[in-house]
Amino acid sequence: MSHIALGVIGGTGVYKLAQLADVETREVDTRYGKPSGPVRIGHLLGQRVAFLARHGEGHSVPPHQVNYRANLAALQAVGVQRVLALNTVGGITERFGPRVLACPDQIIDYTWGRISTICEEPGTDVLHVDFGDPYTPLLRHKILAAARVTGVKLVDGGCYGATQGPRLETKAEIARMRRDGCDLVGMTGMPEAALARELGLDYACLAIIANWAAGCGTGEEITMAEVLANVDAASSGLPELIGELARG
């Protein structure tokens, strides 16, 4: 295992890391099974970075069937300690419109039926990890610092509401989430963040806002084409930001 400065998990619309050079591909098997695809390890602006596409490189794995444990364990197996999770999301509150990038600091979990702990394996101790701050505060600070250095605009904070999917939400569900205090809605934020904590990884989220959530903003129908176009447009500064983060 050699040192890798950063592991990156790509979400919807981010199936590879632009500017990743000298790429080496690892097929990793873990005690939790197979990850969504190969781990691609390469150099990004001089730093060694590992990348994994959360839904597979052809987006074939729906949110509720992602093997979150295997994905994180595969990154850990190749030597990753710090994980930057890229999550494509919908925006609920004012500051989180399409094409905005955000570094949330809280989560509410609305998912169900997903394997959400590593403690079910035979021989593992039951863990009750502290999850008051679900994202590693120091890594969040480093992401925000890297954004400042590279001139990438990033909203500091926000609450990520994790829904089951794969369908989008009803307007009433989003209205309830707004009342609960959610700013963002996505389908993959949990159990990934909690599993990272159990596995002892540093983990934080960079949310890419692709659309207004149901009933928010202009209230128009949400299309996959709109989601992908907005992710693309919002992602142009990410290689520099990720390279800078890997350096720090």
Residue ranges of the binding site for phosphate: 12, 54-55, 188
Q: Which of 185, 195, 201, 246 binds ligand HPA (CB under 6 A)?
A: 185
Helix or strand holding residue 143 (H, E): helix 137-150
Asked if 86 touches ligand HPA (CB under 6 A), the answer is no
168 scored as a contact of ligand HPA (CB under 6 A): yes
Candidates 88, 136, 230, 235: give the one binding ligand HPA (CB under 6 A).
Answer: 88
Region near ligand HPA per CB under 6 A, out of 18-26, 28-36, 143-151, 185-193: 185-193
Asked if the peptide bond before residue 191 counts as cis, ω within 30 degrees of 0, the response is yes
At residue 181, what are phi and psi to the nearest 5 degrees?
110, 10
Q: Does 195 bind ligand HPA (CB under 6 A)?
A: no
Query: Whole-angstrom Cα distance, residue 92 to residue 215?
Result: 9
**Which residues from 212-231 bind ligand HPA, rule CB under 6 A?**
213, 222, 227
The structure tokens 């919807």 sit at: 12
Query: What's the CA gap between 211 and 50, in Å, rounded?
Result: 28
Q: What are phi and psi of 19, to 5 degrees?
A: 75, 5
Do residues 53 and 37 make contact, with C-beta atoms less than 8 angstroms apart?
A: yes
How far apart are CB 63 and ligand HPA at their closest, in Å? 8
Q: Is 90 in the site for ligand HPA (CB under 6 A)?
A: yes
Annotation: binding site:
12, 54-55, 187-188, 211-213
x/- map, 105-144, ligand HPA, by CB under 6 A: ----------------------------------------
**Strand, helix or coil for residue 16:** coil
Question: Considering the complex, what minimum distance in angstroms separates the CB of residue 138 from ligand HPA?
Answer: 27
Q: Which of 186, 189, 191, 243 lies at the binding interface for ligand HPA (CB under 6 A)?
A: 186
Position closest to ligand HPA via CB: 90
Q: Of 81, 106, 227, 199, which Cα lies nearest the Cα of 156?
A: 106
Q: Which of 112, 98, 120 is nearest to 187 (CA)?
A: 112
Determine, following the binding rule CB under 6 A, whether residue 187 of this chain makes contact with ligand HPA.
yes
The closest of 152, 177, 174 to 100, measured between CA atoms, is 152
Instruction: Give the footprint of ligand HPA on this chain (CB under 6 A).
Output: 88-90, 163, 168-169, 185-187, 210-211, 213, 222, 227
